[in-house]
Amino acid sequence: MQPEEQKAILAIALHAAFADGFKDDRERDEVRRIAESLASASPNVDLRELYQDVLLKRFAVGQAVAALGDPGLRHYAYEMALCVCEADGRTNEAEQRFLDGLKSSLGLADQEAEQIAREVEPFAPGNAGPVGALPGTSDAEVDQSILNYALINGALELLPQSWASMAIIPLQIKMVYGIGRTHGVELDQGHIKEFIAAAGVGLTSQYLEQFGRKLLGGLLGKAAGKTAGKIGRAATGMAFSFATTYALGHLAKRYYAGGRVMNSDMLRATFENLLGPAKELQARYLPQIEQKAATLDAGQIMSLVRGQ
């Protein structure tokens, strides 16, 4: 994939993130941070500048679409935009208008767009089944569960398919639900999403980071999301979802065990403190992450998300 094609797809994803007006300053700041972080991984694409160009409407969707001549890349661009809009489990009117216009600009037939939506929908955050640990679960069992979720999410990020990344947040939601349940707290998805956001893990921004790392790290081939790429050492630096999930799990364990008294500032600070050691563990568990990535398929991932 050429740098201009990478830039175009990321621009479309940013437009999708801003499609609903993006009134949350925290989320906007997080997207900017991601653009700056990914910039260091891609010397051929100035993502800091791209973020500003999209935000200030200097790089229109039409310009991005014009850079994507390959049908596979156009398919992937729409898939990526749809995933970003679905990050919180729903698509509002403004986002739907954006997606309709994008579909038309990309020249996608209604049938193809509907097929993409069907592929993505089962893994959207709103579809995570409320299955988790029961009261009385030991600390050691909770710790093992957190590690298992982290390993799975690290593996999902190494898979080339976009629907694999879509499963990461639903599994994080299920993990937090289970941890709350061990402490006698029955949570709904709204509370869990607020908890995750308070920790500084934005839903939209997390998808952008996952897709950006895949795109810039070369995991996606010429046909983008349609390619069944190989798991290799070149992709191993991108399994940041292991660390994010691991730190989030242990934050939830502290939060619910401590009677839910942490405020947003304390949650965010504690998460950041947990993230450093989690990143060190990521390197230690990398062989297991890669092994798991080599064995996962859509059916297994669907079962994990649905809790079957």
pLDDT of residue 56: 84
The average pLDDT across 54-73 equals 90
Compute the distance between CA of residue 159 and CA of residue 298 in angstroms, rounded to an integer. 11
Residue 100 has pLDDT above 60, yes or no: yes
pLDDT of residue 25 exceeding 80, the answer is no
Q: Which of 241, 243, 234 is nearest to 282 (CA)?
A: 243
Q: Which fold has domain 3-123?
A: TerB-like (1.10.3680)
131-169: pLDDT as tens digits: 665 566 788 889 999 999 999 999 888 887 767 777 888
DSSP-assigned letter for residue 230: P
pLDDT value for 218: 57
pLDDT at 233: 39
Average predicted confidence (pLDDT) for the chain: 79
Q: Could you tell me which of 145, 254, 156 has the C-alpha nearest to residue 199?
A: 254
Residue 174 has pLDDT above 80, yes or no: yes
d(CA 156, CA 240): 11
pTM of the shown model: 0.75
Select the highest-mean-pLDDT range: 51-55, 165-169, 284-288: 284-288
Q: Is the pLDDT of residue 227 over 50?
A: no
pLDDT number for residue 225: 41
The residues pairing with 221 across neighbouring beta strands, listed in sequence order, are 224
pLDDT tens track for 211-224: 776 676 655 543 34
Buried b / exposed e along 268-292 (16+ C-beta atoms within 10 A): bebbeebbeebeeebeebbeebbeb
Q: Where does the pLDDT of residue 24 fall: very low under 50, low under 70, confident under 90, or very high at 90 and above?
A: low
Spell out the domain ranges in the chain.
3-123, 125-306
